């Protein structure tokens, strides 16, 4: 591990807005000590909770918290070095209604109680085209979200992936969720919406690459049975690139195809 990452991990241990817990830390079958208590013990208020799943550098977590001071926002990710950026920004800017939880999203039901979450944002997750249960918008994860969300709570998805966008649309249809909004070209159709114009680090990479951004929002009403969509969806034909990838050369490749 690089010295820079070690420095960030050490600094995060001193942040009062970061809570870290991995599968190896303790018995993951037991409720987390803050489950049901986030609003009062962490934020000191009774405002509704919004989660950003796969928060990366936390741009949405901090951005939403600043835009909506009447909401408490928690970014969740397993990548601590990335999370450091958002946690640091929240501290430096005095954004007291933003916090971060470092853990695997699969264990999310351990960290929150029933009806504790009002809203979830899923921002640019891996589409996981090979295995449905790994997709953050699959019925597998909807069962987990339902256990911690209020009935008819809002779920938002922003993605560059045509596959994940289409899959999620089919998932909402198969389970009868109320679809409130969907677009396969966000910055063409929602130019005046300040919430949707918040951009993550990875989102800007896709925009620089010439990709259109997809968005949808639906209500997760409580139900007993869940259905996984049985439809064939064309797989994405591109992959993300590493930190040293030459974006301009990729654009040229795309235009010459």
Q: Which residues are designated catalytic?
A: 126
Residue 210, classified by CB atoms within 10 Å of its CB into exposed (0-12), middle (13-18) or buried (19+), is exposed
Write the DSSP symbol of residue 39.
I
Spatial separation of the C-alpha atoms in residues 198 and 27, rounded to whole Å: 37
Place of tokens 């301009």: 248
Q: Is 12 helix (H, G, I), strand (E, B) or coil?
A: helix
Spatial separation of the C-alpha atoms in residues 228 and 8, rounded to whole Å: 40
In degrees to the nearest 10, what's the CA dihedral of 192, 170, 136, 131? -140
Q: What are phi and psi of 222, to 5 degrees?
A: -70, 140
Alpha helix locations (H) across 21-58? none
């Amino acid at each position: 591990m690089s010295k820079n990452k070690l420095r960030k991990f050490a600094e995060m241990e001193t942040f009062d807005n970061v809570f870290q817990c991995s599968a190896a830390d303790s018995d993951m079958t037991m409720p987390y000590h803050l489950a049901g208590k986030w609003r009062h013990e962490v934020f000191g208020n009774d405002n509704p909770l919004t989660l950003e799943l796969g928060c990366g550098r936390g741009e949405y977590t901090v951005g939403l918290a600043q835009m909506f001071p009447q909401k408490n926002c928690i970014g969740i990710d397993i990548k601590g070095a990335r999370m450091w950026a958002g946690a640091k920004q929240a501290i430096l800017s005095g954004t007291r209604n933003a916090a971060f939880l470092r853990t695997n999203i699969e264990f999310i039901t351990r960290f929150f109680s029933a009806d504790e979450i009002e809203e979830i944002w899923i921002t640019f997750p891996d589409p996981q085209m090979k295995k449905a249960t790994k997709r953050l918008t699959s019925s597998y994860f909807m069962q987990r979200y339902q256990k911690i969300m209020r009935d008819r709570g809002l779920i938002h998805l922003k993605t560059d992936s045509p596959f994940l966008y289409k899959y999620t649309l089919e998932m909402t249809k198969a389970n009868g969720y109320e679809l409130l909004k969907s677009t396969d070209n966000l910055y063409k159709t929602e130019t005046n919406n300040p919430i949707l114009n918040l951009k993550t680090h990875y989102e800007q990479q896709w925009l620089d690459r010439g990709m259109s951004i997809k968005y949808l929002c639906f209500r997760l009403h409580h139900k007993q049975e869940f259905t996984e969509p049985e439809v064939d969806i064309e797989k994405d034909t591109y992959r993300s690139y590493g930190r040293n990838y030459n974006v301009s050369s990729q654009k040229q490749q795309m235009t010459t195809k």
